[in-house]
Amino acid sequence: MIQNIDWSKLSFHYTETDYIVRSACKDGIWEEPYATKDKTIQIHVASTGLQYGQQVFEGLKAFRGVDGKVRVFRMQENARRMARSAEGLMMTPPPEDIFCRAILLALKKNIDYLPPYETGATLYFRPILIATTHEISVAPGKDCELIIVATPIGAYFPGKFHCTPFIVERHVDRAAPFGTGTWKVGGNYGASFRATEAAHAKGYDCMFTDAKTHKYIDECSAANFIGIKGNEYLTPRSSAILPSITNDSLITLAKEMGMKVTRRHIRVEELAEMDEAAACGTACVISPIGKVYDPDKDITYHFGDKPGPVLSRLYHALKDIQYGRSPDTHNWTEIVEIPE
């Protein structure tokens, strides 16, 4: 265990660990993932990753459980999503076994950075795929490199599980319908900075609307939206949002709790009819929304100061699985044996 990290002071920022893991693909052949202490990569100036933004990434976590066991959550789903993102940008998708072996190697080599159970902190993995083919004409490159960065991150809610305010955004689009929004492409995040920084400056997080009509809720910053209306779990259908693995897991749990789950276009005004609302994603699991301000209409939708009962139940149900406090009946977690 690393002695000089104050786990309680960690937030969602990069803390250096000992190793990154790398695997390059040349002419369709992937090399076996290997660990290295060097945190810099050499990349040719003519690589299509640099020229044309041929780059995609992922985000997933490992947890130290209540039983002391180490669990990685739904790693295969991240592998599949990275493969879809890569195909979206005409890159070579890393095979699932290469992706998973690379994650497990990054975990084992950086095991001292996996925070203790009681801290609520986790070890976060940021897999990056970048195209390395040398090309100046506007054309996709097929050679690429997969890099896994591991970093400990703090508990999202270090104190109490609490609510966040959001502001509706209709003047900056994150991703176009039928564009790259459903893939985890770095460029989507660059495109969202203008809106998210402006929202933060006003004390809010950013709720993106659909880029075509700006009538419907798309995403909450870098998270999916969930609304609870009576016994119904509502989440947006959109061709521009990232299919969240957390949302998928929560939907499964909501159905098991007897809820009706509906994925459809959701008008911003429908917030008035919802009992609870939240953003969901790997970082927070669920981040309940306290209020949503719509500046174009000067309307505020209020959900109260405290997380509602349905979202609280779902939040704890998923976290209990991740930390081994309740049985993983869906095989979502992989228990990793760590050699002494």
Site residues (CB under 6 A) for ligand PLP? 59, 219, 222-224, 242, 244-247, 281-282
For ligand PLP, give the closer residue by CB, 205 or 219.
Answer: 219
Q: Check residue 46 and give left, alpha or beta (phi > 0: left; psi -120 to 50: alpha).
A: alpha
- At closest approach, how far in Å is the CB of 330 from ligand PLP? 15
For ligand PLP, give the closer residue by CB, 132 or 188.
Answer: 188
Cα dihedral across residues 103, 93, 85, 89: positive or negative:
positive
- At closest approach, how far in Å is the CB of 173 from ligand PLP? 13
Strand pairing category for 20-26 and 34-36: antiparallel
- At closest approach, how far in Å is the CB of 222 from ligand PLP? 3
For ligand PLP, give the closer residue by CB, 59 or 165.
Answer: 59
Strand pairing category for 164-169 and 205-209: parallel
- At closest approach, how far in Å is the CB of 241 from ligand PLP? 6
| Residue 154, token pair as written in the block | 């703090």
- At closest approach, how far in Å is the CB of 174 from ligand PLP? 7
- At closest approach, how far in Å is the CB of 42 from ligand PLP? 28
Strand pairing category for 232-236 and 224-229: antiparallel
For ligand PLP, give the closer residue by CB, 51 or 247.
Answer: 247
- At closest approach, how far in Å is the CB of 213 from ligand PLP? 20
C-beta of residue 16 within 8 angstroms of C-beta of residue 143 = no
C-beta of residue 190 within 8 angstroms of C-beta of residue 59 = no
For ligand PLP, give the closer residue by CB, 240 or 274.
Answer: 240
For ligand PLP, give the closer residue by CB, 111 or 245.
Answer: 245
For ligand PLP, give the closer residue by CB, 95 or 187.
Answer: 187
- At closest approach, how far in Å is the CB of 245 from ligand PLP? 4
- At closest approach, how far in Å is the CB of 46 from ligand PLP? 29
Chain position carrying tokens 């919802």: 274
For ligand PLP, give the closer residue by CB, 102 or 242.
Answer: 242
For ligand PLP, give the closer residue by CB, 25 or 60.
Answer: 60
